[in-house]
Amino acid sequence: MEIVPKGSRELLTIHDVAGIGAPYHRRLARRHDEPLVPLAEPVAVHVHVLEGKLVHGKGQPGALVAISSRIGRVRSERPIAAMQNVRIELREPELWGVELWGKTLVPREAAGEPGFDVWLLTIPEEVGALLARRSASRPRNG
């Protein structure tokens, strides 16, 4: 695919972009669908809805209860409508204040569960490591 990026006057050929290197070291989520993995121990969070670039309201407490490489499931008392930009602050001692950013998907109340799913823009490595430990520590049957 050829594009003319903002600030450039020439065509650039791009391919399947998977991330950016130093100094940012960020990777895009994988493209294939994968199941959400329930966490053995939910991660306490506080969720804020954004309006433009500003936080709207006081936010609400919740818990991250399942995760994949790009989608998180948040259990909360009040669902958040689909397509809302959100900032999710982690409230775990080892990751206090670390933030996840994303866009909400369909509220879970339609499935009889309180909360919502969120498409996560990135998952920092330290958060990924905590979530991997929590999902790996699930008791397995068999």
- What's the whole-number mean pLDDT along residues 31-41? 77
**pLDDT tens-digit readout, 60-87:** 999 999 888 889 999 998 888 889 999 9
- What's the whole-number mean pLDDT along residues 114-136? 85
Q: Please tell me whether the overall predicted TM-score, pTM, comes out greater than 0.85 for this model.
A: no
Which residue shows structure tokens 């339609």?
Answer: 110
Dump the DSSP string for 44-56.
EEEEEEEETTEEE
Which residue shows structure tokens 């699930």?
Answer: 138
- Backbone region of residue 17 per phi and psi (left: phi > 0; alpha: psi in -120 to 50; beta: other values): beta
Question: Regarding the domain delimited by 30-136, which CATH topology (the fold level of the hierarchy) does it fall under?
Answer: Thrombin, subunit H (2.40.10)
Q: How confident is the model at residue 3 (pLDDT cuts 50, 70, 90)?
A: confident
The sign one gets for the Cα dihedral 59, 105, 39, 78 is positive
Q: How confident is the model at residue 17 (pLDDT cuts 50, 70, 90)?
A: low
Indicate the burial class of 64 (C-beta count within 10 angstroms; 0-12, 13-18, 19 or more): buried
Cβ-contact 41, 134 below 8 angstroms: yes
Domain borders along the chain are 30-136
